[in-house]
């Protein structure tokens, strides 16, 4: 018998957005749908513990939530027919055709990705408008000054007003794909900001990460054939699966991926991530998020194999930088190249990255410090550690880097 609590957590993680969207479509209110689903989850915790998890747990939750919504509407004594209520009660399973596109946040994200909006500002606009991030946090993600970003965001909002860009979905399904990349980029950036705040105990960061996970699950339910959406879903799940292993429980110091205790990784979430990646790969396309998720899948395999396949990681990173040569991808490639070819090779790859991109990118300095220390270049390593520490906003990462710096021999 499946554990009821773990099954409810799994459904909340993977299907909450889809369930709320399906309920919203029927009850005509997102808030009402969320309230009804919350009641259903609480009831499931009691009933499933006593009777066991049903064969179709999502269908059980949806039916229970619909019943709750019907009861609430009746108790309010609204003057309306029961035709919609009967339809709700008859639907005991989740229809394949239902999507989460009705969620107003998703609709607003599609509006922010309108072709009339400057391409570079679409994702930041979504982060501010839909997810409520301030300019300072957004600027740190996109390596821009808060002032410059603020001006661009203001112009973009003015353009939406002046041009009469509708805050609705595109009229044709094919238009979804054209705007989807910007939406996925914004969701990933939101998750990254949230995940980077875990070590500081930032409650807003935790909520932001959860919201990003909710949004990507909703997009996947809405667009089942969008391979990159499923790829991003897998990527976020793989990353989330390691949350409990990222920090020392006593000192709250950051723990790098290769030093993490794999027994602390969430095996169920890893399996969900692997399924999401299979969903992506079944669509016969290849994109940035699928490659990044594949990289994380190789790392996750260490939980069962006991080792990291650096040759596979090297190949995947080489493919990733051809598709998306971001400073993050290039820095990670350098680290992978160092694992297979030695620190000197890794440093060569780091030095090839555009100085304008790497100057304020903390992981570049941290990676360089690590490789220089392996080579015995103590003075240069100390300088790079200082740069990385100065650029770190996360106290747990600073504590880790300072500890690594302290290990270097002193003259």
Tens of pLDDT, residues 92-118: 333 333 344 555 667 768 878 888 888
Number of neighbouring beta carbons within 10 Å of residue 217 = 24
| Residue ranges per structural domain of the chain | 4-96, 104-217, 224-308, 320-411
pLDDT for 198: 61
Q: Over the stretch 239-268, which tens digit does the pLDDT of each residue have?
A: 999 998 998 878 878 999 999 999 999 999
Is the predicted pLDDT of residue 79 greater than 50, yes or no?
A: no
| R_g over Cα of the chain | 23
Of 219-228, 319-328, 347-356, 398-407, the one with minimum mean pLDDT is: 219-228
Angle between helices 288-300 and 227-240 (to 10 degrees): 30
Is the predicted pLDDT of residue 75 greater than 60, yes or no?
A: no
Is the predicted pLDDT of residue 331 greater than 90, yes or no?
A: yes
Share of the chain above pLDDT 70, in %: 81
- Binned at pLDDT 50, 70 and 90, residue 73 comes out as low
pLDDT for 44: 92
CA 174 to chain centroid: 24
Sequence-ordered list of residues with C-beta below 8 angstroms from that of 354, at least 6 positions apart, any chain: 327
Query: CATH classification of 320-411 is 2.40.37.10, yes or no?
Result: no
| DSSP structural state of residue 199 | G
354: left (phi over 0), alpha (psi -120 to 50) or beta: beta
Is the predicted pLDDT of residue 231 greater than 90, yes or no?
A: yes
Of 82-86, 188-192, 222-226, the one with minimum mean pLDDT is: 82-86
Q: Which two tokens stand for residue 274?
A: 């692997």
Mean pLDDT over residues 62-88, rounded?
58
Burial of 21 (0-12, 13-18, 19+ CB in 10 A): buried
Pair 335, 295: CB distance under 8 Å = no
pLDDT for 362: 95
Greater confidence, 234 or 16?
Answer: 234
Mean pLDDT estimate for the chain:
83
Mean pLDDT over residues 166-172, rounded?
64
Please indicate, yes or no, whether the overall pTM of this predicted structure exceeds 0.95: no
Question: 3-class secondary structure for 51-75?
Answer: HCCCCCHHHHHHHHHHHHHHHHHHH
pLDDT for 106: 75
Pair 210, 255: CB distance under 8 Å = no
| DSSP structural state of residue 28 | S
Q: Over the stretch 271-322, which tens digit does the pLDDT of each residue have?
A: 999 999 999 988 778 899 999 999 999 999 999 999 999 999 999 999 999 9
Greater confidence, 175 or 350?
Answer: 350
For the four alpha carbons of 65, 66, 71 and 72, in that order, the dihedral sign comes to positive
Q: Over the stretch 192-228, which tens digit does the pLDDT of each residue have?
A: 888 876 655 555 666 778 878 888 888 888 778 889 9
- Binned at pLDDT 50, 70 and 90, residue 84 comes out as very low
What is the four-CA torsion angle of 396, 399, 401, 406, rounded to 10 degrees?
Answer: -160
Mean pLDDT over residues 344-365, rounded?
96
For the four alpha carbons of 16, 19, 22 and 27, in that order, the dihedral sign comes to negative
How many residues comprise the chain? 411
Of 85-89, 172-176, 186-190, 292-296, the one with minimum mean pLDDT is: 85-89
Greater confidence, 72 or 153?
Answer: 153
| DSSP structural state of residue 247 | B
Q: Over the stretch 4-50, which tens digit does the pLDDT of each residue have?
A: 888 888 887 767 766 776 676 566 565 677 788 889 999 999 999 88
């Amino acid at each position: 018998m499946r554990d009821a609590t773990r099954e409810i957590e799994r459904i909340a993680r993977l299907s909450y957005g889809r369930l709320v969207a399906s309920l919203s479509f029927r009850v005509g209110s997102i808030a009402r749908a969320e309230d009804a689903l919350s009641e259903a989850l609480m009831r499931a915790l009691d009933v499933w513990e006593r009777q066991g998890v049903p064969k179709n747990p999502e269908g059980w939750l949806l039916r229970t939530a619909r019943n709750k919504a019907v009861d609430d509407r009746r108790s309010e004594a609204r003057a309306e027919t029961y035709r919609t209520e009967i339809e709700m009660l008859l639907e005991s399973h989740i229809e394949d055709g239902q999507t989460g596109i009705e969620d107003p946040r998703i609709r607003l994200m599609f509006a922010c990705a309108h072709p009339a909006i400057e391409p570079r500002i679409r994702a930041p606009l979504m982060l501010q408008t839909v997810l409520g991030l301030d300019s300072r946090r957004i600027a740190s993600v996109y390596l821009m000054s808060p002032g410059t970003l603020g001006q661009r965001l203001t112009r973009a909002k003015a353009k939406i007003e002046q041009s009469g860009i509708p805050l609705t979905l595109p009229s044709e399904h094919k238009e979804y794909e054209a705007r989807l990349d910007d939406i996925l980029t914004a969701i990933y950036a939101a998750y990254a900001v949230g995940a980077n705040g875990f070590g500081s105990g930032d409650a807003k960061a935790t909520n932001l990460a959860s919201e990003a996970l909710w949004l990507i699950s909703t997009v996947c339910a809405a667009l089942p054939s969008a391979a990159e959406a499923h790829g991003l879903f897998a990527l976020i799940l793989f990353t989330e699966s390691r949350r409990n292993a990222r920090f020392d429980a006593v000192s709250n110091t950051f723990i790098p991926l290769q030093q993490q205790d794999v027994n602390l990784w969430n095996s169920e979430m890893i399996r969900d991530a692997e399924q999401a990646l299979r969903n992506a790969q079944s669509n016969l396309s290849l994109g940035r998020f699928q490659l990044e998720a594949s990289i994380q899948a190789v790392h996750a395999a260490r939980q069962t194999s006991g080792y990291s396949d650096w040759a596979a990681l090297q190949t995947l990173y080489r493919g990733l930088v051809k598709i998306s040569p971001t400073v993050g991808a290039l820095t990670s490639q350098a680290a992978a190249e160092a694992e297979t070819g030695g620190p000197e090779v890794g440093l060569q790859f780091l030095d090839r990255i555009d100085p304008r991109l790497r100057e304020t990118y903390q992981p570049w300095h941290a990676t360089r410090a690590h490789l220089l220390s392996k080579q015995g270049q103590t003075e240069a390593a100390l300088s790079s550690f200082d740069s990385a520490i100065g650029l770190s906003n996360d106290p747990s990462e600073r504590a880790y880097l300072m500890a690594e710096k302290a290990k270097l021999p002193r003259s």
